[in-house]
């Protein structure tokens, strides 16, 4: 998920944006260094990154707020479960950058892309470190001790923590830019997206444990799951659009009544 705000309107929003980009850049550099240092020459997580880049080009606009939601989170979760936080952070950063550059045509799209990539990298890295530390969980790839129950619980927590961090960071940006309350912004515009995040985490779990993630069948499964995610988001966004329209009508009626 990313935002496409005119952040120059608010000094507080600009400070938040700059701080997020600085921290996110540090996370990406650190994770990239770790991955390069431990590279084997054949790194299967690159396949999931490639799928992420392709899927990130397809995203949906949230009604009533300058944000978009991507259907590529499944591959971020897949790399997190299989390979760990560092791989997930790089995957999420690419998702945020590609998704923004693909849909945003304004002169500031590079700035928006940097913010979205940084925010998603921070969210995924912190999610992985938190879940792995709490559950003493290890990446599934090459881990003979991995169990379905343990991995399923880890995937559920990954969905919860990433949803809160990712939507919370974007809601904070929107709130600072608009002057609205962060809780109100998050509850009204982002809370309803939780189903999509949980579905993406569940799909990543099935792909991590039930399939070889790097065989051609993965593309078929990914296509089916992404279609389900897109359908789910369309239903959710349709309801959000109706809610935004209803709220706008009520505001207009209230203003008309006050004017009379």
pLDDT digits (tens, 9 = 90+) for 57-66: 665 555 544 5
CATH topology of domain 2-259: Arp2/3 complex 21 kDa subunit ARPC3 (1.10.1760)
CB 4 within 8 A of CB 100: yes
Residue 102 pLDDT class (50, 70, 90 cuts)? low
Residue 70, strand partner residues: 59
Span 218-222, mean pLDDT? 57
d(CA 250, CA 257): 10
Long-range contacts of 61-66 (CB under 8 A, 24+ apart): 61/237, 62/189, 62/190, 62/237, 62/240, 63/237, 63/240, 63/241, 63/244, 64/188, 64/189, 64/240, 64/241, 64/243, 64/244, 64/247, 65/174, 65/185, 65/189, 66/3, 66/4, 66/5, 66/174
- Average pLDDT (170-187) is 85
Return the bridge partners of 3, or none: 67
**Can you give the pLDDT at residue 147?**
79
**What pLDDT, on a 0 to 100 scale, did the predictor assign at position 244?**
47
Read off the tokens for 20. 């997020």
Average pLDDT over residues 6-10: 58
Q: What is the mean pLDDT of the chain?
A: 76
For residues 141 and 71, which has the higher predicted lDDT (pLDDT)?
A: 141
3-state DSSP assignment of residue 74: helix
* b/e 49-80 (16+ beta carbons within 10 angstroms → b): bebbbebbeebbebbbbbbbbbbbbbbbbbbb
- Which has more confidence, 140 or 227? 140
Contact indicator for 51, 222 with CB cutoff of 8 Å:
yes
| DSSP secondary structure letter of residue 62 | P
Phi, psi of 60 (to 5 degrees): -120, 140
Mean pLDDT over 18-38 rounds to 92
pLDDT given at position 240 = 47
pLDDT of 258 higher than 70 = no
What average pLDDT does the segment 95-120 reach?
A: 78
In this predicted model, what pLDDT tens digit does every residue of 30-71 receive, in sequence order? 999 998 887 755 566 677 677 677 666 665 555 544 556 666
Angle between helices 45-55 and 216-259 (to 10 degrees): 40
pLDDT tens-place string over residues 148-178? 788 889 989 999 999 999 989 988 988 888 7
Kindly report the number of other CB atoms within 10 A of residue 139's CB atom. 23
Handedness of CA 175, 98, 204, 196 (dihedral sign): positive
List the single range of 87-96, 161-170, 195-204 with lowest mean pLDDT. Answer: 195-204
Asked if 71 contacts 59 with a C-beta cutoff of 8 angstroms, the reply is yes
What confidence score (pLDDT) does residue 28 get?
Answer: 95
Question: Which residue spans within 49-149 are E strands per DSSP?
Answer: 59-61, 67-70
Distances (CA, A) of 21 to 37, 49, 97, 149, 156: 24, 21, 12, 36, 28
Average pLDDT over residues 74-97: 88
At 7 the pLDDT is 47
């Amino acid at each position: 998920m990313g935002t496409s705000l005119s952040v120059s309107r608010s000094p507080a929003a600009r400070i938040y944006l700059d701080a997020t980009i600085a921290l996110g850049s540090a996370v990406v550099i650190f994770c990239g260094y770790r991955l390069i240092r431990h590279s084997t020459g054949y790194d299967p997580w690159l396949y999931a990154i490639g799928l992420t880049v392709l899927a990130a080009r397809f995203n949906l606009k949230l009604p009533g707020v300058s944000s978009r939601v991507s259907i590529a989170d499944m591959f971020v979760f897949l790399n997190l479960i299989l390979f760990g936080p560092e791989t997930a952070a790089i995957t999420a950063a690419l998702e945020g950058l590609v998704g923004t550059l693909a849909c945003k045509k304004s002169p500031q799209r590079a700035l928006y892309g940097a913010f979205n990539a940084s925010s998603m990298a921070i969210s995924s890295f912190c999610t992985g470190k938190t879940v792995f530390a709490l559950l003493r969980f290890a990446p599934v790839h090459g881990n003979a001790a991995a169990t379905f129950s343990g991995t399923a619980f880890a995937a559920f927590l990954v969905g919860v923590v990433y949803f809160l961090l990712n939507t919370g960071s974007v809601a904070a940006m929107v709130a600072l830019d608009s002057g609205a309350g962060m809780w109100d912004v998050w509850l009204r515009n982002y809370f309803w997206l939780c189903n999509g995040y949980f579905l993406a985490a569940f799909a990543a779990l099935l792909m991590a444990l039930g399939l070889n993630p790097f065989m051609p069948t993965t593309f078929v499964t990914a296509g089916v799951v992404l279609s389900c995610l897109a359908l789910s988001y369309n239903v959710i966004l349709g309801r959000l659009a109706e809610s935004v329209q209803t709220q706008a009508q009520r505001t207009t009626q209230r203003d008309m009544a006050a004017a009379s």
